[in-house]
Amino acid sequence: MAVTPQSAPGPTSQPRAGSALAVRMAAPAFVLLWSSAFIAGTVGLRSAPPLLLTLMRLAAAGLILTVVAWITRAPWPRGRQLGHVIVAGLLLQAAQFGGFYWALSLGLPAALVALIQGLTPVLTATAAWLLLGERTSGRQRLGFVLGAAGVVLALAGRMDVHGGASAALIPAAIGLAGAGLGLLYQQRYCAGMDLRTGTATQLLASVPVLALLAFTVEHPAVSRPLSLAWSLAWLVLVNSIGAFLLMYTMLRRRPASAVSSLFFLTPAVTAVLAFLFLGEGLSWAIVAGLVLSGAGVTLATRQPRAAAAGRAAAEPSRPRAADHAEDPIAAGAPEWRE
């Protein structure tokens, strides 16, 4: 019996299914990779000061991505786009990690730093509403409240801020501002950047700032080189490259407030990883906070069926970058955008 065109499977059915699976796995993979940075960072801080560790992490990741971009002949940002990429990099890399690691060096407990970073979604959603007019539904706002409550619950009873460490709240606030505003700036002005060259530019642009701070604020010294090497390998390949590429990819599909809501999960997930790999205690509050944060993220990121159906109906009318370019991570790929 002859096979009619209607009964033949479409040539793009499997790729579309694989793409949908990859989209669904991006968020949990990002949370796991981002949270693992606290574990690798804890190991690394036993061998190097925090700012020096951050400097080596960003410099190594930037050089690796530069080599990848050169081999693949990826286009580099130029002109006005270059300026936007550098600004986003200084916020997301230098300000965020420099601020948080500087706070650690001044004695702020890691649990409190994780809590402050976990509040990134609140800042991002507020800034998106004030600066970009990005609207949020009542369900999303409830998700933000639940997520923030889960973060606080997960770390309840683990705060220990003495008078000398209170000054570290200033660089921690800088780190929080860098994370929240950097996400918005990245989505607004850098959505079309090539992920290889754009990320490499952001990493390398942050190196001089961190180098200045590392050699003026602290006394750079390295011990336990083998342990430091393993820690840096994970921080560079998994966190600075893998996690950021995932985050930038999600920013091309979702609002910045929705992507940032994933940070609600990182403190509790970090606590679970610390229990498994560092032998730290795991209390009922951490488990309850993880469940509450998960519910908040679900509410904040779930999109109405009507909106999803409308985008699905509009998809066939738009050209797909895969039909016109061989490189799936080239700049401005329409399939990554809302």
pLDDT of 92 reads: 95
Please state, in angstroms and rounded to a whole number, the distance separating the CA atoms of residues 314 and 309: 9
Instruction: Give residue 7's pLDDT.
Output: 45
Count of residues for the chain? 338
Which is nearest to 202 in space by CA: 61, 37, 102, 36? Answer: 61
Render pLDDT for 172-183 as a digit per residue (tens, 0 to 9).
Answer: 889 999 999 999
Concatenated DSSP letters of 111-173: HHHHHHHHTHHHHHHHHHHHHS-----HHHHHHHHHHHHHHHHHTTT-----GGGGGGHHHHH
Predicted pLDDT of residue 319: 43
pLDDT value of residue 120: 84
Please tell me the predicted confidence (pLDDT) of residue 190.
93
- State residue 30's pLDDT score: 93
Residues 6 or more apart whose CB falls under 8 angstroms from that of 184 comprise 124, 127, 128, 131, 132, 256
3-state SS, residue 235:
helix
The amino acid at 86: I
Is 313 strand, coil or helix? helix
Contact 157, 285 (CB under 8 A): yes
Summarised one tens digit per residue, pLDDT across range 174-207 is 999 999 999 999 988 998 899 999 999 999 999 9
Confidence (pLDDT) at 333: 37
pTM to 2 decimal places? 0.75
Residues of the chain scoring pLDDT < 70? 1-23, 109-112, 154-165, 301-338
Q: 224's torsion region: left (phi>0), alpha (psi -120 to 50) or beta?
A: left
